Structures are given as C-alpha cells and as structure tokens.
Structure 1
Amino acid sequence: MDILDQIKEAGIIGAGGAGFPTHAKLASKAEYILLNGAECEPLLRVDQQLMELYPDEIIKGFEAAGRIVEAKKAIIGIKNKHKNVISILRNRIEVLKLGDFVEVKELQDVYPAGDEHVLVYELTGRVVPETGIPIQVGCVVINSETVLNIYNALQGKPVIDKFITVTGDIPNRLTVKVPIGTPIRDVLKLSGIENFEGYAVIDGGPMMGPVLSNLDGYVTKKNKGFILLKKTHMLIRKKSSSVEQAKRVNKAACEQCRMCTDMCPRYLLGHNMQPHKMLRSLNYSLSNTEDQKISFLCSQCNLCELFACPVGINPRSANIYIRQKLIEQDIKYKPTQTELHPRKSREYRLLPSKRLVARLGLSEFDKSAPMKVIQMEPEFVHIATRQHVGAPAVPAVSVGDAVKQGQLIGKIPEDSLGAAIHASISGNVTEINNDFIVIRRA
C-alpha cells in the first residue's frame, strides 16, 4: 500500500475547514505545499499547540505530503507572534536534515491570515483566481492537524480523535483530545459549567463559526473549538439574527460608505468582490443579475459584517441572500480576469488580530487554553457517516457487531469522493441510520 492509499484508508480530511478528503487533495501535483499554521480565528488554540508539542511528527507528515505532490518546496506558515513555536520548528527541521525542502515563513498577526487565498499570496506571492483553488497556481494547502494525522496514518493509525479548544466566558479554558463521536455536551462540561441555560455556543471561531441551535450534537473530524458566551453577548446577538432581520436593518441603515468592500480580503487581493454593491442591489431592489454574480466571490470571512461596517449592519447576510437566489436560478459567476494583482491599498488595510478581538468584545477571554490530557470515556459515540465533503460513508458493520477501537466501520462509496470512518472506542454497534453509526462502550 502506497502512502496515498494509507492516507485514504485512515479517513483523513481537512481538520481545519470544510473537511475535504486529504487523499483527493494530494492526488494533484504542485510546485508548493503549504502548511496552514496561521489559526487566524481568535481564541482558538489547537494548531499552535500541536506544532509545539509534536514538531517532529508534523514536520515528517508535512514532508511526506510534499513528496506525494512532488513539491519543490514545503513552506510552514505561522504567525510571527508564536516565537517559541517558530524556534522549535526551525530547530527540528535542521535536526531532521530537511532544511533544503521544508522552511518556516512568518505571517503577520492579521485576520484572515489563514484564508487559503491569503495564505497562498503571503507565502508565494501568487494570487489564486476568482472562484479558484490553490492548485490553479501550483499550490496545495494543508492544515497542521491534518499533517499530524498523515504522520499517524503512516504508523497505521486512523483518525479516531479530534483536538478541540473549549474557551470563552468560562472558568476553565483548555484544549483537549476527544474521541470522534463524543457528545458535545460532555466536551462543554470540561469548561467547569454544568448548566448551559444562559449560554450560547459558537461552533468554531468567533468570525465564521455558527451558533449551535442545540447542544445535542456529536464531535466530528471537522470541529476545531467551542466558544461559550452569555446569550446577552453582542456577538451572540449579532450571529443569531435572521436573514429577514438583517434585510430590514440593511435597508434602514446602509450609508453606502463602501468600507465593507475596502476592507474585504478578497477584494484587496484583486478579486471583484464588492459587498457594498450587494447591499445596494438588495436595498434598492435592483435586478441586474450580471452585477449580482460577484456574490459568488465571498469567502464568508465575516470581516465586513463584524468589523468593517461603521453602523453595524449585515453586508455578508445580503451577499448570502443574493447568492442563494442566483443558485436557485442556476446562475453562476464566470471569471473574466486572467491576471490578478493585489490592490495597492492592501498593505494599509490588513486587520490586526488584537483590534478584531477588541471589536468583538472578546479581549477578556483572549487567554491561553492549555493542552490537557483528559481521559474522555463516553458510554456512547455517534460517528457521523458524513463529516466530510462528498458522499456519506457506507456502513461496513452491522447492528450487534463487536468492534475494536480503530476498526473500519464506514467505507467510501465506489467511484465517489468521500472519507472512511473508524470506531473511536471499542464496543458494540447499537444503531445504524442515514446519519450515524452508534457504538456503545464495551
């Protein structure tokens, strides 16, 4: 079995984003392979700690991924504020004698430094085309935890655990490794809070993460962190508003100042994304779909809505609404620009993370969440059959089967994009449905 097959069998997906199957991403050839260690979402602390605690494993996994895509150079991108981690990585690269292939490049502490398009530009000087992906400019981008999972796969270990930061307005901030399929409530209780009645939970970072509608879900390979805040917090109120509420506010208050556009990370890279035009189109009932097609260029970073707008309205919501209407009409955006260049104003409009944290009202919670070894032993795990981009996994077990930790329980459908899933605990399969395979601990 070659390395790519080992990665495929281990069920590895992107651990820091949409969950694209890693074996499919590494099937392409690229000039550069880039490790996204930016972790640009405020308050999350997974990647920076993994690089500090497991530098050799991450470097070796990254090298292996780079060799698969036949990259000429493997570049680790990490924010310059993580001085100790940078020192550790550079030292271990030299000790492992990989300095001619792997290098560390420092990123500014800005948001969204971890956006794939932004990362590619900062590390290589190349601009990914509109609606494009990094491979179009000879790059493959991979996350720190994903690289650690690649190293583990080469040791015969599938993905059965997930590193998660639990933080926010809580007594105990921490980062912990938990079995995939663990009830989210069990993870949240590590915060020191038992009654969540007055709290809301953001699934992921404060900028892009949604507010959970209920807490009865289960950990997947894509979860990165849970942020607990009081329901009265400004950020929770903002994120909880409906599309209809956003539309009413937008019509009442938009000044057409175009700050949402002038600070848009994709616009600053040279793309034609202009959120203020989406607001104009919505507020004045303009119907020119040609002008509205640029809504497909939005990266959903939420900077326009949660920072740039001086009157606190919802440019991103307007963009989402318009894009959905175009999708319903089967209208798509076709890029016309063949060569993109960052706008001259870009260097003056990068958003420092500390300013963003202050605007979000999170400064008092922007503290360390140290890695802790806690033995999580849920009685039941619900392992999702679809926790990745592509088709859901096809069950490879039956109700009543005894399974061992690490055993394959869901296969990739034939001729489909997908990812395998494995038992995160040893026990017996008690239920199989369209969404989950349920295992009770032995």
Structure 2
Amino acid sequence: MSLLDKVKDAGVIGAGGAGFPTHAKLAAKAEYVLLNGAECEPLLRVDQQLMEIFPDEIIKGFEVARELVSAEKGIIGIKGKHKKVISILRDRIIKLQIGDVLEVKELPDIYPAGDEQVLVYELTGRIVPEAGIPIQVGCVVVNSETALNIYNASIGKSVTEKYITVSGNVPNPLTLKVPIGTKIIDVLRLSGIDNFNDYAVIDGGPMMGPVMKSLDGYVTKKNKGFVILKKEHPLIRKKSVEMNQARRVNRASCEQCRMCTDMCPRYLLGHGTQPHKMMRAMAYNLEDVEGQKIAQLCCQCNLCELFSCPAGLYPKAANLYFKQQLMEKNIRYKASKDNFEVRQAREYRLIPSKRLIARLGLREFDKSAPLTDITIEPETVCIATQQHVGAPAISNVNIGDYVEAGDLIGSIKEGTLGATIHASISGIITDIENNFITIRRE
C-alpha cells in the first residue's frame, strides 16, 4: 500500500478546523510544503504543545507530506515567541539528517498568522490569488496535528482521537486527548465547571469560533478547542448577535471610515476585499451584484468586527450576508488577474496578538493550558459520518456488530471527495441514524 493510500485509509483530515481530506491535498505536486504551527487563535494551546512533545513524529509526518507532493522544500512556520519549541524542532531536524529539505522559520506574533494565505506569504513571499488556494502558487499547507496524524497513518494507525484545549473563564484550563465521538459536555466539565447555566461556550477560537447553541454535541476530528466564558462577557454578547440585528445596527451607524478594509489581512495582501463597501451596500440597499462579489473574498477571520471597527459594528456580518445571497444565486467571484502586490501599509497594520487579546477582554484568561494525562473513557461514542469537507462517509457496519478501536466503520462514497471514519472505542454498534454511528463500550 502506498503512503498516500495509508493517509486516505486512516481518515486523516485537516485538524486545524477546516477538515479538508488530507489525501486529496497530498495528491497534488508542489514546490513547497508548509507546516502551519502558528495557532494564532487566542487561548488555544494544542499545536505548540504537540510540537514540543512529539517533534520527531510531527517532523517525520511532515517529511512524508513533502515526499508525497514532491516538494523541494518543507518549511515549518511557528511564532518566534515559542523559543523552546523552535529550538527543539531545529535540533531534531539536524539529528534526523533532513536539514537540507526541512527548515523552521519564525513568524511574527500577529493575528491571523495562521490564515493559510498569510502563512504562505510570510514563509515564501508568494501571494495566493483572490479566491484561490495555496497550490496555485506551488504550496501545500498542513497543520501540526495533521502532520502527527500523517505519521501515525504511515505506521498503520487511524485517526480515532483528537487533541483539544479547554480554556477561558475556568478554574482548570487544560489540553487533553479524547476519543472522537465523546460527548462535548464531558470534555467541558474537566475545566472545573459543572453547571453551565451562566456560561456560554465558543466552539474553536474566540475570533472565528461560533457560540454553541447547545452543549449536546460530540467531538469530531475538526474540533480544536472550547473557550468557556460567562454569558455576559462582551465577546459572547457580540458573537451572539443575529444577522437581522447586525444589519439594523450597520445601517444606522456606519460612517464609512473604512478601518474594516484598511486592517483586513486579505486586503493588505493586495486582494480586492473591501468590507466597508459591503457596509455601504447594506446601508443603502444597493443592488450592484458585480460590486457585491468581493464579499466572497472574505476569510471570516473576524478582525474587522472584533478589532478594527471603532464603532463596534458588524462588517464581517455584512460580508457574510452578501456572500450567502450570491451563493443562493449561484454567482461566484472570478479573479481578473493572477499577480498581486502587498499594499505598502501592511507592515504598519499587523495586529499584535497581545493587543488583540486585550481588546477581546481575554487578558486575564490568557494562561497556559497544559497537556494532561487525564483520560476520558466514554461508555458510548457517537461518531459523525460527516466531520470533513465533502460527502458523508458510508457506513459499512450493522447494528449489533462488534468493532475494535481503530476498525473502519465508514468508507468514502465512490467518486466523491470524503474521508473514512473509524471506531474510537471497542464495543457494539447500537445505532446508525441521523448521520451518526453509535458504539457502546464492551
């Protein structure tokens, strides 16, 4: 079996939150393969710890990725503030005698350093075209945990567990490894909070993660972390605003200062995204469909909404509103050029992480969340058949079947983009419905 087939059969997907099937990404040919170790979302602590604890495995998995895409060079991007991790990685690359093809480059401590297109520019100087992806400039990007999973796949181990940070306004911020399909509430309770009546939970980082409407879900391969805050925290109130309310506020208050555009990471890379124009279109009910297409260039980093706007308005919501309108009409933006130049002001408009954390009201919660040996052994797991980009996995088990942890329980539908899923515990299949496969421990 080829290495690419091993990655495919193991169910490896983008572990940073996007969930794109890794075997499809590694089927391309590229000049560079880049490891995204930026972890730029505040309060999340998975990648930096994995690189410190499992440097050899991550480097070897990254090298597998480099070989599969036939890249001349592999570059690990990590923020310069993580001195210890950088030293460990550089030392291990030398010891593994692959310094001629792999190197570590330091990233500035800015948000969003982990955005794929920002990362490509910072590490290679290349600019991904509007509405494009890194392969268009000869780059393939993988996350640190994804590289670890690629290594595990190379030795025959499927993706059955997920590393997650639980942080925020909690007594016990921590990072831990849990079986996929574990109840989210069981993970949250390890933070030291048992009653969540006064709390809200952000699924992911505080910038891009949504506020969870229910805590009844289950861990998937895409979960990265959970940020727990009091319901009255300004960030929760801001992120909980519905689209209709955001539209009313935008129409009433936007003064067209264009700070949302001037601070936009994609605009600063030379792209045409301009959220202030979407605010204008919303305020005056403009029907210029051609002008609205630039909303599709928004990466939803939320910097405009949670940092840039001096009036506390909702420019990201404006982008999202027009993006949804265009999707419903099947209208897509098409770039009119291939070459882009960074705007001259970019170096003066990069947002330091510490300043962002202070603006979000999270400074007192910006603490370490150490990777612990705490284990969760759920009696049942509910494994989603679609926890990745593409078509849902097709169940290949029946109710009453016994499966061992690591066994294949869902295959890729023929002719589609997708990913396999595997049993995360040993036990009996008790249910197959509502896009979940349930296993009871035996």
TM range (shorter): over 0.9
Q: Show the counterpart of 1:379.
A: 379
Q: CA deviation at 1:338?
A: 2.1
2:410 partner amino acid: G
Q: CA deviation at 1:396?
A: 1.0
Q: Show the counterpart of 2:319.
A: 319
Distance (Å, rounded) in 1 between the aligned partners of 2:294 and 2:375? 48
Q: Show the counterpart of 2:143.
A: 143
Secondary structure at 2:190's aligned position in 1?
Answer: helix
Secondary structure at 2:368's aligned position in 1?
Answer: coil
1:203 partner amino acid: D
Q: CA deviation at 1:223?
A: 0.1
The correspondence of residues 108-147 of structure 1 with structure 2, limited to 5 A, is 108-147=108-147
The correspondence of residues 284-303 of structure 1 with structure 2, limited to 5 A, is 284-303=284-303
Distance (Å, rounded) in 2 between the aligned partners of 1:330 and 1:403? 43
Distance (Å, rounded) in 1 between the aligned partners of 2:164 and 2:17? 13
Q: CA deviation at 1:253?
A: 1.1
Q: Show the counterpart of 2:396.
A: 396
Question: TM-score, structure 1 length as denominator?
Answer: 1.00
Q: CA deviation at 1:330?
A: 1.9
Distance (Å, rounded) in 1 between the aligned partners of 2:330 and 2:65? 37
CA-to-aligned-CA distance 1:259-304 (integer Å, 9 cap, x gap): 0000000000000000000000010111111111100100000000
Q: Show the counterpart of 1:264.
A: 264
The correspondence of residues 20-99 of structure 1 with structure 2, limited to 5 A, is 20-99=20-99
Secondary structure at 1:372's aligned position in 2?
Answer: coil
Alignment partner of 1:343 is 2:343:
yes
Distance (Å, rounded) in 2 between the aligned partners of 1:289 and 1:111? 31
Distance (Å, rounded) in 2 between the aligned partners of 1:424 and 1:327? 36
Distance (Å, rounded) in 1 between the aligned partners of 2:156 and 2:10? 8
Distance (Å, rounded) in 2 between the aligned partners of 1:171 and 1:323? 40
1:338 partner amino acid: D
Is the Cα contact below 8 Å between 1:408 and 1:421 reproduced in 2?
yes
The correspondence of residues 148-159 of structure 1 with structure 2, limited to 5 A, is 148-159=148-159
1:157 partner amino acid: K
Q: Show the counterpart of 1:102.
A: 102
Distance (Å, rounded) in 1 between the aligned partners of 2:338 and 2:66? 28
Q: Show the counterpart of 1:307.
A: 307
Residue segments in structure 2 that go unaligned for 5+ positions in a row: none
CA-to-aligned-CA distance 1:110-129 (integer Å, 9 cap, x gap): 00000000000000000000
Alignment partner of 1:4 is 2:4:
yes
Aligned residues: 442
Q: Show the counterpart of 2:162.
A: 162
Distance (Å, rounded) in 1 between the aligned partners of 2:283 and 2:237? 23
The alignment-based identity, stated in percent, is 70
Secondary structure at 1:251's aligned position in 2?
Answer: helix
Is the Cα contact below 8 Å between 1:385 and 1:434 reproduced in 2?
no
| RMSD value, Cα | 0.5
Q: CA deviation at 1:332?
A: 1.3
Is the Cα contact below 8 Å between 1:31 and 1:73 reproduced in 2?
yes
Q: CA deviation at 1:375?
A: 1.7
Q: CA deviation at 1:147?
A: 0.3
Q: CA deviation at 1:148?
A: 0.1
Q: Show the counterpart of 1:18.
A: 18
Alignment partner of 1:181 is 2:189:
no
Q: CA deviation at 1:204?
A: 0.2
Q: Show the counterpart of 2:192.
A: 192
Secondary structure at 1:322's aligned position in 2?
Answer: helix
Distance (Å, rounded) in 2 between the aligned partners of 1:348 and 1:17? 29
Secondary structure at 2:419's aligned position in 1?
Answer: coil
Distance (Å, rounded) in 2 between the aligned partners of 1:421 and 1:247? 40
Distance (Å, rounded) in 2 between the aligned partners of 1:252 and 1:287? 19
CA-to-aligned-CA distance 1:89-109 (integer Å, 9 cap, x gap): 000000000100110000000
CA-to-aligned-CA distance 1:40-81 (integer Å, 9 cap, x gap): 000000000000000000000000110010000000000000
2:158 partner amino acid: P
Distance (Å, rounded) in 1 between the aligned partners of 2:319 and 2:153? 40
Q: Show the counterpart of 2:429.
A: 429
Secondary structure at 1:158's aligned position in 2?
Answer: coil
Secondary structure at 2:216's aligned position in 1?
Answer: coil
Q: CA deviation at 1:434?
A: 3.7
Distance (Å, rounded) in 1 between the aligned partners of 2:262 and 2:381? 46
Q: Show the counterpart of 1:252.
A: 252
CA-to-aligned-CA distance 1:166-212 (integer Å, 9 cap, x gap): 00000000000000000000000100111000000000000000000
Secondary structure at 1:99's aligned position in 2?
Answer: coil
Is the Cα contact below 8 Å between 1:184 and 1:216 reproduced in 2?
yes
Secondary structure at 2:48's aligned position in 1?
Answer: helix
Q: CA deviation at 1:329?
A: 1.8
Q: CA deviation at 1:331?
A: 1.6
1:388 partner amino acid: H
Secondary structure at 2:381's aligned position in 1?
Answer: strand
2:93 partner amino acid: I
Q: CA deviation at 1:433?
A: 1.0
Distance (Å, rounded) in 2 between the aligned partners of 1:323 and 1:217? 27
Distance (Å, rounded) in 1 between the aligned partners of 2:40 and 2:323? 26
Secondary structure at 2:389's aligned position in 1?
Answer: coil
Secondary structure at 2:67's aligned position in 1?
Answer: helix
Is the Cα contact below 8 Å between 1:80 and 1:108 reproduced in 2?
yes
Q: CA deviation at 1:230?
A: 0.2
Distance (Å, rounded) in 2 between the aligned partners of 1:332 and 1:320? 14
